[in-house]
Amino acid sequence: MPQVDQDGRLRHLLTLDGLSPATLTALLDRAQAMLDGIDDRSTLEGVAVCTLFFEPSTRTRLSFQRAAQRLGADVLGFDASTSSTTKGETALDTLRNIEAMGVRGFVVRHAHDGAVAELAASAAPGTALLNAGDGRSAHPTQGLLDMLTLRQAKGMDFRELKVLIVGDVRHSRVARSDLHALRALGAGEIRVCGPAALLPEDDTLAGCIVTQDFEAALEHVDAVMMLRLQRERMTEGLVDSLEDYHRDYGLTPQRLRRAAPDAVVLHPGPMNRGVEIDDAVADGPQSLILRQVRNGVAVRMAVLEALMGRGGS
């Protein structure tokens, strides 16, 4: 596995797939310590981190930027999605160039599956890549922050946990990273629900209870992980209308009552209010959505420290 070196240490964070429960738990523990203000964190003073986004995402970029700032790192931004300066340069040449400027860490987002792993395979030995989302494949820090959020709400033991993921799993790197992490941490039951056209046909859902009946799926679950509905699913003909989607898969307060009484609601943002989630749920007492964002900075600090800190590779 290219992201872990021979001594078992993380060199890159490309995917949660294949990471050991011990590795995941160590990252989550460290993130929790960051939140608890335990101030023994490594410093990245004088170290440069570049956010290299081939696909735009201001919020994820800001979260990584804040995490790097809090560790004392210098942050450089390269918005390759709007940069006219790449001038036909390959992504790898761009990476190697910024690497040659003395940058040791790259937070990379790319529209294509596997693009970040490909770059990592060609990076210099001392360089760490953090996948900030590639195609439909993986968004590992989102998976980690979701697990941290679940752990804070439901305790460390996932074996009794019933988790429901709802929506466009087919196109979702968030869902894939959540599934990798939930399995590794031994979640008791993973349910997946969404319209057939938005469910994956490969083995992504192996071991999951899959249904298109949202209300049945909600029964007694401890956590509901909503996914964002991308508007392009309409133009692609995969979803008829926002109204239809809301009728069938929108999380309303009424529907949420089918879940366990203390069930929690997660959403990776940005939300389509009134489409996949109602205001009363998004802003309600069971919502952990802003907690997820808060946890995101801590998780990204933990990952940056693990990959680039004194104890890192």
Site of interaction with its own copies (CB under 8 A):
46, 48, 50, 56-59, 62-63, 65-66, 69-70, 74, 76, 78-79, 83-90, 93-94, 96-103, 231, 269-273, 290-291, 293-294, 296-297
Contact 227, 276 (CB under 8 A): yes
**Residue with smaller CB distance to its own copies, 175 or 298:** 298
Q: Residue 115: phi, psi to the nearest 5?
A: -65, -35
The nearest distance, CB 103 to its own copies, in angstroms, is: 7
Considering the complex, what minimum distance in angstroms separates the CB of residue 176 from its own copies?
Answer: 20
Closer residue to its own copies in complex, CB, 10/145: 145
Count CA atoms closer than 13 A to 125's CA, side-chain side.
Answer: 0
**CB 94 to its own copies: min, Å:** 8
Distance (Å) of CA 196 to CA 19, 162, 166, 256, 288: 30, 22, 12, 22, 27
Strands 48-53 and 105-110: parallel
- Phi-psi category of residue 37: left, alpha or beta, with phi > 0 → left and psi -120 to 50 → alpha: left
C-alpha to C-alpha distances, 239 to 31, 157, 216, nearest whole angstrom: 38, 37, 21
| CA dist., res. 128 & res. 136, Å (int) | 21
Nearer to its own copies, 19 or 50 (CB): 50
> Least distance in Å: CB of 35 to its own copies?
10
The one-letter amino acid code at 116 reads V
What's the min distance (Å) between Cβ of 266 and its own copies?
A: 13
C-alpha distances (whole Å) from 21 to each of 160, 163, 170, 304 are: 16, 18, 25, 19
> How many Cβ atoms sit within 10 Å of the Cβ of residue 162?
18
3-state secondary structure of 210: strand
Please identify, using beta-carbon distances, which residue of 97 and 254 lies nearer to its own copies: 97
Instruction: Compare residues 191 and 233 and give the one whose CB is closer to its own copies.
Output: 233
Helices within 36-90 (DSSP H only): 58-70
Nearer to its own copies, 3 or 149 (CB): 149
**Dist. CA 32–CA 35, nearest whole Å:** 5
Query: Least distance (Å) from its own copies to the CB of residue 228?
Result: 8
| Cβ 157 to its own copies shortest distance, Å | 27
- Min dist CB 202 to its own copies, Å, is 27
- Comparison of 83 and 252: residue with beta carbon closer to its own copies: 83
User: What length is written for the chain?
Assistant: 313
Q: Which is nearer to its own copies, 175 or 218 (CB)?
A: 175
Q: Which residues contact 215 (CB under 8 A, 6 or more apart)?
A: 255, 258
